[in-house]
Structure 1
Amino acid sequence: MNRIAVTGLGAISALGASLEDNWQAAVAGQSGIARCIMGDSEYGPGGLELPMARVADGYEAALDAKFGRPVAAGLDPFARFILAPALEALEQSGLRGHEVLNERTAVIFGHGLGGLATLEAGYERFFGMKSARMHPSTVPRVMLSAGVSAVAMAFEIRGPVFATSSACASSAHAIAQGAAMIAIGQVDCALVGGSEAVSTAGSVRAWEAIKAMSPVTCRPFSADRDGMVLGEGGAVMVLEAWDHATARGATILGELVGWGMSSDAFHITQPSPEGQARAMRQAATQAGALNRDDILISAHGTGTPLNDAAETQSLVDVFGEAARKLPVIATKSAHGHLIGGSAALQAAIGLRALAEGLAPPIQNFTARDPACDLDLVVGEARKIGSKLLLQNAFAFGGLNVALMFAGAED
Structure 2
Amino acid sequence: MTGASGHRVLVTGMGCVSGLGRGLAVNWARTRKGDGAIRPLPGPAPVGMAAWLEGRPADDIRFPGVDGQRLRRLGRLDPISRFAIEAALEAVGDAGLADHPSLARRTAVLMGCGSGGNETIDTGYERLFGKDEAKVHPQTIPSSMITAPAAHVSILLGIHGPVFTLSSACASSAHALGEALHMIRSGRVDVAIAGGAEACLTRGSMAGWQSLGVLAPDTCRPFSRDRRGMVLGEGAAVLVLESERHARARGARVHGELAGYGLSSDASHITAPDTAGIAAAIRAAHEDACIGFDIPAVVSAHGTGTALNDAAEALALREVYGTDLPRHRVIATKSAHGHMIGATGAMEFLLGLMALVEGTAPPVLNHLGPDPECDLPLALEPQSFSAEVLISNSFAFGGLNAVLVGRRA
Q: TM-score if structure 1 supplies the norm length?
A: 0.95
Whole-angstrom distance in 1 between the partners of 2:145 and 2:402: 24
> Does residue 1:330 correspond to 2:332, yes or no?
yes
Whole-angstrom distance in 1 between the partners of 2:204 and 2:65: 32
Instruction: State the one-letter code of the partner of 2:169.
Output: A
The Cα shift of 1:208 comes to 0.7
Instruction: State the one-letter code of the partner of 1:6.
Output: V
Aligned to 2:253: 251
Aligned to 2:18: 13
Point out where structure 2 has 5 or more consecutive residues left out of the alignment. none
Aligned to 1:29: 34
1:344 to 320, 343, 346: 346
Whole-angstrom distance in 2 between the partners of 1:177 and 1:220: 28
Aligned to 1:43: none
Would you identify which runs of 4 or more consecutive aligned residues in structure 1 move more than 3 Å? 58-63, 67-73
The Cα shift of 1:293 comes to 3.0
The Cα shift of 1:48 comes to 3.5
The Cα shift of 1:357 comes to 0.8
Equivalent position SS for 1:279? helix
User: Does the CA-based 8 Å contact 1:115-1:144 persist in structure 2?
Assistant: yes
- Structural mapping, 1:82-101, within 5 Å: 82-101=84-103
The Cα shift of 1:353 comes to 0.7
Whole-angstrom distance in 2 between the partners of 1:65 and 1:179: 28
Aligned to 1:125: 127
Aligned to 1:398: 399
Aligned to 1:170: 172
Instruction: State the one-letter code of the partner of 2:244.
Output: W
The Cα shift of 1:77 comes to 0.4
Aligned to 1:194: 196
Whole-angstrom distance in 2 between the partners of 1:61 and 1:165: 25
Point out where structure 1 has 5 or more consecutive residues left out of the alignment. 41-46
Residues 291-300 or 212-221, more deviating: 291-300
Whole-angstrom distance in 1 between the partners of 2:408 and 2:310: 26
2:265 to 263, 266, 276: 263
CA displacement, residues 257-313 of structure 1 (integer Å, 9 cap, x when unaligned): 110111000000000010011111000111122333311000000000111111111
The Cα shift of 1:129 comes to 0.7
How has the CA–CA distance of structure 1 residues 199 and 184 changed in structure 2, closer, same or farther, with 3 Å as cutoff? same
Whole-angstrom distance in 1 between the partners of 2:323 and 2:317: 9
The Cα shift of 1:49 comes to 3.2
Whole-angstrom distance in 2 between the partners of 1:392 and 1:352: 16
> Does residue 1:386 correspond to 2:391, yes or no?
no
User: Does the CA-based 8 Å contact 2:297-2:327 persist in structure 1?
Assistant: no
Instruction: State the one-letter code of the partner of 2:38.
Output: I
Whole-angstrom distance in 2 between the partners of 1:173 and 1:373: 28
Whole-angstrom distance in 1 between the partners of 2:78 and 2:212: 26
Residues 282-291 or 133-142, more deviating: 282-291
User: Does the CA-based 8 Å contact 2:21-2:27 persist in structure 1?
Assistant: yes
RMSD: 1.5
User: Does the CA-based 8 Å contact 2:111-2:176 persist in structure 1?
Assistant: yes
Aligned to 1:138: 140
1:52 to 42, 50, 53: 50
Equivalent position SS for 2:170? coil
The Cα shift of 1:61 comes to 8.5
